[in-house]
């Protein structure tokens, strides 16, 4: 696989941004592989993702920042440089439902998710054998209303010890504290088993059944302090009928949850997501 760099940019919209970036990369012998952009007229924003081959590029990571500073200042850019050789290190948190966890571990093992998964944390032991089968470290941490601060402190230590970049809540049935969320902004992805903003919180399939909906869904989103209202990364739906019982909704929903969460994680680790105004832009 090629060694690549990806530049993510957000700035006020203006003439000449694309030309300036393309000329800068050309001057430093970059071979551009992908480039995509989005303009938000309402917010006067320009967003861009550009990826290039590093084989002939003549700037290292430190030198890039110095060389790019003039253009960044000229257009008031907020920018990030991501290198493919730095694999995202992912921690998965799970409770008792194992379908999303199993799917992520399988996709990672098969090479579909180009990241590292060194750690799984759970407040139950149900998934321990599965995790160890894939050669991943499993840590059981009991969580209750009486020990939650201590449990989260232990989780923070594990994230630091394993040098974790991204936390994935694969049906982790605990509400994170504001301190937890604040420590990892835009670095926690959750799968919610409904088509948000409908049926936030607990037991959405039961509530959907009681409401008599004809569509159910799943939502992958970044976690914020406001429950189930973080920026949405991906959603999908499935049609149901009056013949479907709660158990049918749950089964159909699990298929949605697996695929939606996998896409959200993949897009994050491939540096395809930019956030603004509690929304996401996904560059395909």
Catalytic machinery residues: 228
Q: Which two tokens stand for residue 8?
A: 């993510």
- In whole angstroms, give the CA distance from residue 241 to residue 227: 29
- In whole angstroms, give the CA distance from residue 132 to residue 277: 40
Q: Are strands 273-276 and 279-282 parallel, antiparallel or unpaired?
A: antiparallel
Token pair 């690549």 in the structure block, residue: 4
- Phi, psi angle pair for 7, to nearest 5°: -110, 125
* Secondary-structure breakdown of the chain: helix, strand, coil percentages, each rounded to the nearest 5: 35, 30, 35
Token pair 């071979």 in the structure block, residue: 31
- In whole angstroms, give the CA distance from residue 71 to residue 75: 6
Q: Which two tokens stand for residue 63?
A: 């030198």
Contact 201, 175 (CB under 8 A): no
């Amino acid at each position: 696989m090629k060694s690549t760099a990806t530049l993510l940019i957000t700035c006020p919209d203006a003439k000449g941004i694309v030309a300036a970036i393309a000329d800068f990369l050309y001057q430093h012998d970059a071979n551009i592989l992908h480039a995509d952009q989005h303009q938000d007229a309402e917010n006067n924003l320009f967003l861009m993702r550009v990826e290039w081959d590093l084989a002939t590029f003549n700037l290292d990571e430190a030198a890039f920042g110095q060389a790019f500073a003039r253009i960044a200042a000229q257009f008031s850019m907020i920018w990030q440089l991501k290198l493919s050789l730095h694999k995202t290190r992912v921690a998965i948190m799970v409770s008792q439902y194992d379908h999303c966890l199993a799917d992520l571990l399988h996709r990672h093992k098969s090479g579909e998710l180009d990241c590292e998964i060194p750690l799984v944390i759970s407040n139950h032991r149900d998934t321990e054998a599965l995790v160890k089968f894939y050669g991943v470290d499993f840590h059981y941490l009991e969580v209750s209303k009486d020990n939650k601060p201590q449990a989260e402190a232990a989780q923070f230590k594990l994230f630091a010890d394993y040098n974790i970049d991204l936390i994935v809540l694969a049906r982790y049935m605990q509400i994170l504290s504001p301190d937890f969320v604040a420590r990892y902004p835009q670095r926690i992805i959750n799968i919610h088993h409904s088509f948000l903003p409908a049926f936030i919180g607990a037991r959405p399939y039961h509530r959907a059944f009681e409401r008599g909906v004809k569509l159910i869904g799943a939502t992958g989103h970044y976690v914020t302090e406001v429950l189930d209202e973080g920026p949405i990364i991906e959603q999908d739906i499935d049609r149901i009928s009056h013949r479907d019982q709660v158990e049918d909704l749950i089964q159909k929903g699990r298929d949605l949850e697996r695929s939606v969460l996998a896409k959200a994680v993949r897009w994050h680790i491939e540096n395809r997501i930019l956030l603004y105004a509690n929304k996401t832009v996904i560059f395909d």
